[in-house]
Amino acid sequence: MRRLRRSEAMRALVRETSVEPGDLIYPLFICPGEGVRRAIGSMPGVFNLSVDEAVREAEEAAQLGLGGLLLFGLPEAKDEQGTGAWDESGIVQQALRALKNSAASKKLVLIADVCLCEYTSHGHCGKVIETADGWTVDNDPSLALLARTAASLAKAGADVVAPSDMMDGRVAAIRLALDKDGLNDTPILSYASKFASAFYGPFREAADSAPQFGDRKTYQMDGANLREAMREIDLDLEEGADMILMKPAMPYLDVILAARERVDVPIGAYQVSGEYSMLQAAFEKGWLDRDRATLESLTSIRRAGADFIVTYFAKDAAKLLG
């Protein structure tokens, strides 16, 4: 076996899995203002960006050959319904229009996250109601709000809409709304298996989206359930999803592999904030080699079956891949 490992050239020749800059999607957190580049404490190297700064990031991403951007928004104000999510002058809508007018848009796929958690005062991903057992997310009335959000983002310039809310039936509602508005060509990248994970903590600082009460375990998936994840994937594809996204990535490589063996649509995986921050902490301590561990983590996700990866390491990895 050592014969095929004798040199870097030989190892490269027989390498089974590769990561290219075009396989990587870079998340951006868009905030109000101008010239804003606010560091996120728990995510070294990641920032809340005003629209003008986001355009600069997009230009660098395009130069590096990245595949695209995934946009999240921090609105100026929040309310119980999350109306900022579908506001035509909303923060992500503004960013999409600016990005579409930049040269970078010709080289990048612009993906807009579809969820209400960043826009609601309570921090949940749908409409909430009070019951005898306390507060709960009301699934069906939330679908219309999510569909309205997706259509608004597509009209503003999103190449892809990506529902991450995990409401049952949201893909069908979004597909119907898009088609009704003449947006038939806008694909849906569904967060088909999104687990109720401990690895989202830093993201909630970045997006200011932590629930104000309770948790999301009643609508995000139980991390113990692989078969249930396959049912979620089947349902989203039946409803009209064009691509699926697995989240988180590294703690759920077996789910990515099972999905790859089950379906033939494009599959993405999200190397989430906790995965990123965990590695960054080890880098700062000198416990792991930054460059090698970054690329090894991404290769593991590709090897499991992901066609593309959403990662905060996208720019750093693209520079390493050269």
Active site residues: 194, 247
Alpha helical stretches, state H, 157-272: 170-180, 201-207, 226-239, 253-262
Task: Extract the runs of DSSP E, i.e. beta strands, from the chain.
Answer: 24-30, 37-39, 47-49, 68-73, 109-114, 128-131, 134-137, 160-163, 189-194, 243-247, 267-271, 308-311
CB atoms within 10 A of CB 242: 16
Which amino acid belongs to residue 166?
Answer: M
Q: What are phi and psi of 36, to 5 degrees?
A: -90, 125
For residue 162, give Cα distances in angstroms to 132, 234, 303: 33, 17, 23
Q: How far is the C-alpha of 92 from the C-alpha of 157, rounded, in Å?
A: 10
Residue among 244, 234, 253 nearest 308 (CA):
244
Task: Extract the runs of DSSP E, i.e. beta strands, from 31-142.
Answer: 37-39, 47-49, 68-73, 109-114, 128-131, 134-137
Tokens found for residue 187:
């694909």
Tokens found for residue 186:
């806008």
